[in-house]
Amino acid sequence: MRLTLKIFRYDPNTSAGPHYDRFQVEADPNDRVLDLLEAVRGDQDDTLSFRRSCAHGVCGSDAMRINGLNALACKVLVKDLNSDTIQIEPLLGLRVEKDLIVDMEPFFAHYRSILPYLINDEPLPEDGKERLQSEAERERFDDTTKCILCAACTTSCPSFWADGQTIGPAAIVNAHRFIFDSRDRGRLKRLKILAGQAGVWRCRTAFNCTEACPRDIHITRAIAEVKQEILKHS
């Protein structure tokens, strides 16, 4: 099948401002959008810029807006889009560096702000080096361990669009992963950060994050659980 790709272009080194370029490509219904981008870059325009690495939905580097919806280009099949024209744009709310590449630093700054690492200064258990955990305790935060930091959720969040200061769903998901980890002792610190102005109360339950997550994490639920945890400790 023949498809038209309408791709957002921006190059800060040329005088042409942000605009869209159209490319005709021959595609198989089972092709992924990433395959089409590679085809354009390989055969038609080698200046087209986008991030990719694993091509299998693991690294999280190719999140973008495909037909108006955040997704990983390597996970979206052409046949699931049901259209002859595919519009591809960079994530919304982060500064565009070139074409489909955005500056991810503000996103990672929010991620770092919630202390995304195990905090526990207590001495190790005497009988070994591991802090043991029951299956149920591990299960408690299993869902939020799946995040690959692609930013599809945070850049689909209306509160983040309104104000890049909002900590955003991805950072809250990663905080949830430690807040509900029985081995961790940093819970109160993180709850304090998330109770702040830019934290969980900015969630308007618009559900764009949960709908966009390529790992099917129950994001809005995780945020609501953190809200409850804050209420319990206040």
From the list ligand FES, other proteins, none, which binds 161 (C-beta under 5 to 8 Å, kind-based)?
other proteins
The least distance separating ligand FES from the CB of residue 122, rounded to whole angstroms, comes to 37
Pairing between β-strand 63-66 and β-strand 85-89 as defined by DSSP bridges: antiparallel
Q: Which is nearer to ligand FES, 97 or 189 (CB)?
A: 97
CA-CA distance, 187 to 66, in Å (whole number)?
37
Q: Is 52 among the residues that bind ligand FES (CB under 6 A)?
A: yes
141: phi then psi, degrees, rounded to nearest 5: -120, 20
Residues 202-221 that bind other proteins (CB under 8 A): 204-208, 210-211, 218, 220-221
CB 101 within 8 A of CB 52: no
From the list other proteins, ligand FES, none, which binds 225 (C-beta under 5 to 8 Å, kind-based)?
other proteins
Order of strands, sheet of 63-66, starting from the edge strand that comes earlier in the sequence: 19-26, 2-9, 85-89, 63-66, 69-72
CB 70 within 8 A of CB 120: no
The least distance separating other proteins from the CB of residue 219, rounded to whole angstroms, comes to 9
Q: Is 58 among the residues that bind ligand FES (CB under 6 A)?
A: yes
Nearest 5 degrees, angle CA 131-CA 136-CA 137? 40
Number of residues that bind ligand FES (CB under 6 A): 12
87: phi then psi, degrees, rounded to nearest 5: -95, 125
Site residues (vs ligand FES, CB under 6 A): 52-55, 57-62, 72, 74
Site residues (vs other proteins, CB under 8 A): 65, 67-69, 92-93, 156, 158, 161-163, 204-208, 210-211, 218, 220-221, 224-225, 227-228
